Amino acid sequence: MTFSPIARTAVSDAVYRQLRNAILAGSLAAGSALPGERALAEEFGVARHGLREAIRRLQQARLVEVSHGGATRVLDWRVSAGLELLGELELPDELILRSALEMRLAIGVDAARLAATRATAGAAAEIEGFVTGSVGVTDPVVLAERYEQFWRLIIVAGDNLAYQLSYNSLVLAMNRNPEVTRELSAPEAADLATQRVLAAAIASGDVDGAASAARRLTSVMLARLQ
């Protein structure tokens, strides 16, 4: 495995990306040890400070395990890494988007149930008012942005921190190619009637109605992709 010398600007970012890509592609296999710090710094043509920062980022992403006084070993990212890696994978955009949409459907339906159960009166009123505020909006970019925020309000109202953080990662992954995402999401974003049904179900505490409306919405984009 050989690496390219790095320009002086954004040294740690560039080193991180090369090492990350090598790990994700399997060029640096799970269980293997990275070359020593001195050897890597020389190969990249960077100072050790920039290299150490890149290694720290790999460790935070759970792509490597650093043993104090020992080797830095590559982890199996499919077992160790978190959802935030989804937006960084060097895989076809269609595969990334399909994976994100399938998870969004699962989370969206359950988040709607939770919102119908847990939403405060203020949060429910905000969701209903947000849908009303989308009436008359014709710009597809603005509609897409509002639709993303609509779901964020629902997930926050459901009071599940894991879903909130997962949604952030899913949005990043889905927006790797924003033109494609906006085109696919246009029918969902423009379906204010179903959004209104979902918002009303949350406000009335109708768990099954909220889940049903959420499924109707989040199934559309996935069906169009397939």
d(CA 75, CA 65): 7
pLDDT attached to residue 180: 85
List of long-range contacts for 56-61, beta carbons under 8 Å, 24+ apart: 57/12, 57/16, 58/16, 58/19, 58/20, 58/23, 61/20, 61/85
11-78: what fold?
Arc Repressor Mutant, subunit A (1.10.10)
Quote the pTM value: 0.79
Per-residue pLDDT, averaged over 20-32, amounts to 92
Task: Give the tens place of pLDDT for each residue, 28-84.
Answer: 999 999 998 899 999 999 888 889 999 999 999 999 999 877 789 999 999 999 888
Confidence of residue 179 (pLDDT cuts 50, 70, 90): confident
Tokens of 194: 């179903």
Contact between 170 and 106 (Cβ < 8 Å): no
Average pLDDT over residues 156-182: 90
Phi first, then psi: give them for residue 136, nearest 5 degrees: 90, -10
Decide if 101 contacts 185 (C-beta within 8 A). no
Q: Residue 47's pLDDT is what?
A: 87
Extract the runs of DSSP E, i.e. beta strands, from the chain: 64-66, 72-74
State pLDDT tens for residues 80-95.
998 888 878 776 778 8
Which of 1-5, 102-106, 135-139, 157-161 comes out lowest in average pLDDT? 1-5
Residue-wise pLDDT tens digits, 94-146: 888 899 999 999 999 999 999 999 999 999 999 999 999 999 999 999 999 99
Give the containing element (helix H, strand E) for 120: none
* Whole-number pLDDT of residue 8: 54
pLDDT of residue 6: 60
Q: How does residue 166 score in pLDDT terms, banded at 50, 70 and 90? A: very high
| CA 21 centroid distance within chain | 18
Question: Considering the chain, what is the average pLDDT of its residues?
Answer: 91
**Which residue intervals of 61-177 are DSSP H helices?**
77-80, 93-118, 121-134, 140-157, 161-174
Q: Which superfamily is assigned to 84-225 in CATH? A: GntR ligand-binding domain-like (1.20.120.530)
Question: How far apart are the C-alpha atoms of 128 and 121, rounded to whole Å?
Answer: 11
Residue ranges covered by each domain of the chain: 11-78, 84-225
| Strand boundaries in 1-45, DSSP class E | none
